[in-house]
Amino acid sequence: MQFYVAAFGATVLHQVGDGEDIVAQLAVGPAAFWVAAAGDSAERRVPKALGAATGRLLLVADNPDEIWRRAVAAGADPKSDVTIEHGWRVGRIVDPFGCGSGPSAAKRGL
């Protein structure tokens, strides 16, 4: 959770459990989403453990360059600088847990 708070300014709306049993609802602006800790007790794995991505998160924001910089400063691995792709301003990272080509920040209408 700390990565999402530091990288994207997420706020914790709800959290239960501890250790491998943490489940939390976070929000970035009006968008809410849930995260859960990886661990053997819940049979949840991080992508790094699998050696592959399991999905991608695209965060649509007014300030993709700033969000990309904050994510990298918070520990994300930069995969591509923020550039224009298909009419969107997108920067790709891999988060500290190995999640694919995202989270990414994007702004449409450029």
The pLDDT value given to residue 45:
63
Q: Is 71 helix (H, G, I), strand (E, B) or coil?
A: helix
Domain ranges, ordered by start, for the chain: 2-39+52-108
The pLDDT value given to residue 106:
60
- The first and second tokens of residue 15, run together, are 């959290």
pLDDT digits (tens), the chain, 110 positions: 788 899 989 999 999 988 777 889 999 888 898 887 766 655 666 666 666 666 677 888 888 888 889 999 999 999 889 888 888 888 888 888 777 555 555 666 55
Q: What is the pTM of this model?
A: 0.74
Q: How far apart are CA 34 and CA 12, in angstroms?
A: 10
CATH for 2-39+52-108, among 3.10.450.50, 3.10.180.10, 3.50.50.60, 3.10.20.740?
Answer: 3.10.180.10
Cβ–Cβ < 8 Å for 87, 109: yes
Instruction: Give the sign of the dihedral formed by CA 26, CA 80, CA 101, CA 60.
Output: positive
The pLDDT value given to residue 60:
81
- The first and second tokens of residue 107, run together, are 């702004």
The pLDDT value given to residue 100:
57
Residue matched to tokens 């050696």? 51
| Beta carbons within 8 Å of 44's beta carbon, 6+ residues apart | 36, 37, 38
